[in-house]
Amino acid sequence: MKVVLSNASTMPIYEQIKSQIRAAVMSGELMENETLPSLRQLAKDLKISVLTTMRAYSELEQEGFITSLQGKGYYVMPKGSQLMREQLLREVERSLGEAAEAAKNAGLTGEELAGMLRLIMEVD
């Protein structure tokens, strides 16, 4: 697992950890049932407080990316989990909301925005 924290980022440390683990789960870099470093190990490795890693892990757990087993640590959840899917959909909705806002500012119609989106999806 790779986690690289930036001190210059405006994103809080726990958010940085969350977004990197989330991305690793989505890309398959972290596989289903893989064990994550313990809260205290991660805190020590990254030189951050235990409460910070705890917040990152517990939020990832709530979002369905990882799960904890009493006394055994944290595991990666299967990719198709219902919770994770909902979370991802919310993410798409949020980004689209931002895009819609930007489109409004630029004076684009919904039709034009949809056209742009189609183009981007095709390129990908």
Partner 1 sequence: MLKVKSISKDYGKFKLEDVSFHLPPGYIMGLIGPNGAGKTTTLSIILNFISKGAGDVSILGTDHIAGEAEVKKQIGVVFDSNVFVCDWKVMEAGRAMAIFYDNWKQKTFLEMLSLFGLDGNKKVGQLSKGMQTKLMLACAFAHDARLLILDEPTSGMDPPSRDELLELLQDYIKDGNRSVLFSTHITADLERVADYITYIRGGRVFFTGPTEELIEEYRIIKGGREDLTGDLRGKIHGLRMHTTGFEGLVSRRDVSREPAGCILERGTIDEIMIYTAREDEHK
Q: How many CB atoms lie within 10 A of CB 50?
A: 12
Closer of 52 and 66 to partner 1 (Cβ)? 52
What radius of gyration do the chain's Cα atoms show? Answer: 18
Residue 24 in tokens: 């690793």
Closer of 5 and 99 to partner 1 (Cβ)? 5
Nearest-angstrom CA–CA distance, 33 and 75: 5
- Nearest distance, CB of residue 122 and partner 1, angstroms: 38
Q: Tell which positions 29-88 bind partner 1, by CB under 8 A.
A: 40-41, 43-44, 47-52, 55
Query: Which helix (H) or strand (E) covers residue 67, if one does?
Result: strand 66-69
- For residue 9, state whether it binds partner 1 (rule: CB under 8 A): no
| Residues in contact with partner 1 by the rule CB under 8 A | 10, 12-14, 40-41, 43-44, 47-52, 55
